Structure 1
């Protein structure tokens, strides 16, 4: 079958269907093999592995961390979202940008900053004579992750509050409710969908994180998986821990989907869009300013200040040539992954939007499944699969790039799929009616309008891969050093001075990504700020 088939055909051309199905199927094969490998465990050994007290402790620790991160990130994100959407603040357009910038500070860099703050040689002791104990455990991991992930929830809540019909609040106030009562009874219930989507992203990230948790010396599923496999202790135990972590992520996905289905928040009429009125802070001005200063200082000021402090300790000892080489190696990994993700996202998006059906739906779901599976179990599945089927690719750059592409393909798919749904097939059908073939019509009419979405998806993948740690740690060839790996390794060894330039470059690197995202999406948002 060729591309000359009608765009409205019931079945996609093979040149589109095969890459789309291959991308979806490639997600499933290693995960299936992980199940097969785990199933090789003898029944008695399985019972010992799964039901040992250490496993129960790992589950308890993992759930405690997820709940703690969700609680603290909500306590940060909700007041900030209310302040920027409901209150009159000076420099109103600046605050959403500043509250999103912590996404440029990965969790392991935040953990590095928190660790570097304390101790005898830390800045607090050296500058103020205040010696703090080393942050670690549940509290340290919660703080490091929450200060990084809260913008995910903040962005969801800000969008929901900005688009909420002010007539709902005005009706409640006209019935005698106070501002607080109106918020609790009217506004907060309307934010359930935003909370659910933000919580899901944060929960999945927390389940899959390894760097910040390992630096904080807190034992959860992800750290146990890595230590069991990397230390060659119990490979089967690592496989079962990976499956448990995948199952836990699946439970969060199912819970969010079920809760979302039960929401009924739509209005019965369309109404007229109006800007939500903003209130003066009055007596709350000082507490609000202190809260904003605390969050900003902790999420951005702290890591930047700690990095600058350690950079000033021994500036002549920094090997800037090694820093540049590490940055270059990071780019040489992230670049091919971004290009491959863009190339793979296009056929998947075309098949799912232009030729919807069961096969297209399954291919799309498999792509998102690859992203939803925590990074370490996904990498471990690729390890088992490569050792059994393609051993010559084990610990090769090819396997690393392929795994990263599969895991982050969903990030490139989202913008392309959304843009195709906006464009629709009519322009191509008009070109077809003028005598152009299907491929020529797509190339001349649709592809130019897709380029911005393709580039946006590629940039997103590039920057996320540049910060990625668990998959790179598990699959990278011997001698590979990325910025993320170097920050983690030097921080683990206590070489905070050596880690400082890499951590600083990582923040600068990530800030470029956040700036690109805000530049592309901030226009409309800024008008409602």
Structure 2
């Protein structure tokens, strides 16, 4: 547990600086919205357009969240609790779609048929991209659940379905609701996939307003509505996480639950998994391969994509990924040290403020930084440094979770020993904490790297003129229906993302994997 000790001034100043940086785009957007005249604000908010955007956004969030929950729970149950043939392979295939960016999936689906550019297409693409956010925690919860609870229910006369409904489902509620809230949050802030699918939501409309006229008052009000929806999801996630108290009373030996026999249902279940994998992996990978082989049926052929252009976009993506990961870790480390080494209301407030970035849409952060640099920090406008700052803000929560967990596992006696030998707190951080927390920091850096590599919204708005990344090239070519031209960039980005995810699983997931076998 953190101790109530005197916080070093330098460490506290670093934490406050990080919190201020995270709150800067949020506070700027709120201030811009408050500057709008009351009557003008009412006229702008209560328009048919806003009603349409609200209906589209909430309908999409509701449909994708519920569908993701159904798919993920069914898949997790079959993998973790049945005798499904090859269930370990199916379990990996069910999680892999999370490594494929949603706008790459949308590129594949609309290149398959332009008729998918509607609500149904948006539901299909977003669900295929984000259902693993529910599958992973639900599968983990099923894996760690005490089988004695189900056995007791069955001994008391409950049927299989009754046991699941009255015993298993309540135990899954924290993981299930937490995953559903993450799907809802990611759907709210999704831009690239919905823009390519021509489905209007708050994110696509805010971007359109920016590109056409940059009416700051209208953009600020639309951003405030989107931000309010995201913060509701974030608050609900924290509420669910904070109220989750499901634990075993005894310290008995952990054992696996005996698998349920599928019997004749085995073949329909296998067909269902095959269909799921075909939709989530087969279509994206298959269409990328298809367009790589086409030579004239697209607006721009693959020959028009020169090797230097492809290499330049790849290098830019790798450089921004590395810089974004380094910047996120730089911001996350002092916050993690504060949270693990010191216990006070101020430290809690600083840490919680950093997590607000999780509920702040990327388009809101990017537009706020654009306005700030145009008005007050001209040298930063359209600079690589500004884009890296945006990455650091957006992915700070991702880096902070892993960094905090790594530091929390360290023995406090090692730090006390360093201080007793005359080392200052900075020397203890550099010579004791950093080397020991290296694996956790590596995991955090890898996750942020993958996220930055596939980030689109902030990159489109903040990248220096002439800068091209793999993500922006996929988006630009797909927007003009140049599917063959987009395919090399999509193939490289997907390959890097899948390879990074595989390396992460190999390096940091070996223990969890072996525990399921």
Same fold, judged at TM 0.5 (above) = yes
Counterpart in the other structure of 1:211: 192
Asked if residue 98 in structure 1 is aligned to residue 93 in structure 2, the reply is yes
CA distance in 1, matches of 2:391, 2:423: 37
Verify the 8 A CA contact 2:402 2:443 in the aligned structure 1: yes
Counterpart in the other structure of 2:281: 300
Counterpart in the other structure of 1:129: none
The 1:323/1:434 distance shift into structure 2, 3 A limit, reads same
SS at match of 2:409: helix
Which of 408, 411, 414 is 2:401 aligned to? 414
Asked if residue 34 in structure 1 is aligned to residue 21 in structure 2, the reply is no
Counterpart in the other structure of 1:138: 119
How does 1:345-364 map onto structure 2 within 5 Å?
Answer: 345-364=332-351
Unaligned runs of 5+ in 2: 296-301
The 1:440/1:234 distance shift into structure 2, 3 A limit, reads closer
CA distance in 2, matches of 1:196, 1:331: 35
1:102 shift after superposition: 0.7
The 1:258/1:406 distance shift into structure 2, 3 A limit, reads closer
The 1:196/1:448 distance shift into structure 2, 3 A limit, reads same
1:475 shift after superposition: 1.4
SS at match of 2:437: helix
Counterpart in the other structure of 1:480: 467
Asked if residue 159 in structure 1 is aligned to residue 140 in structure 2, the reply is yes
1:435 shift after superposition: 4.9
How does 1:5-24 map onto structure 2 within 5 Å?
Answer: 10-24=5-19
1:384 shift after superposition: 2.2
CA distance in 2, matches of 1:448, 1:411: 21
SS at match of 2:131: helix
Counterpart in the other structure of 2:131: 150
After TM superposition, the score normalised by the length of structure 1 is 0.92
Verify the 8 A CA contact 1:228 1:235 in the aligned structure 2: no
CA distance in 2, matches of 1:32, 1:389: 15
Which of 444, 464, 467 is 2:451 aligned to? 464
Q: Deviations over 1:232-285 (max 9, x none)?
A: 153311111111111011112223344455555344444432112112221111
CA distance in 1, matches of 2:17, 2:421: 33
Asked if residue 327 in structure 1 is aligned to residue 305 in structure 2, the reply is no
Verify the 8 A CA contact 2:32 2:216 in the aligned structure 1: no
Counterpart in the other structure of 2:161: 180
Counterpart in the other structure of 2:430: 443
CA distance in 2, matches of 1:97, 1:320: 33
CA distance in 1, matches of 2:426, 2:201: 50
1:382 shift after superposition: 1.6
Asked if residue 501 in structure 1 is aligned to residue 482 in structure 2, the reply is no
Asked if residue 277 in structure 1 is aligned to residue 265 in structure 2, the reply is no
CA distance in 1, matches of 2:328, 2:241: 29
1:180 shift after superposition: 1.6
CA distance in 2, matches of 1:240, 1:439: 44
CA distance in 2, matches of 1:496, 1:103: 22
Asked if residue 250 in structure 1 is aligned to residue 231 in structure 2, the reply is yes
1:342 shift after superposition: 1.5
Q: Deviations over 1:165-213 (max 9, x none)?
A: 1000000110111112211111111111001211121111111110110
CA distance in 2, matches of 1:253, 1:337: 23
CA distance in 2, matches of 1:319, 1:234: 38
1:94 shift after superposition: 2.5
1:447 shift after superposition: 2.0
The 1:260/1:398 distance shift into structure 2, 3 A limit, reads closer
1:518 shift after superposition: 1.6
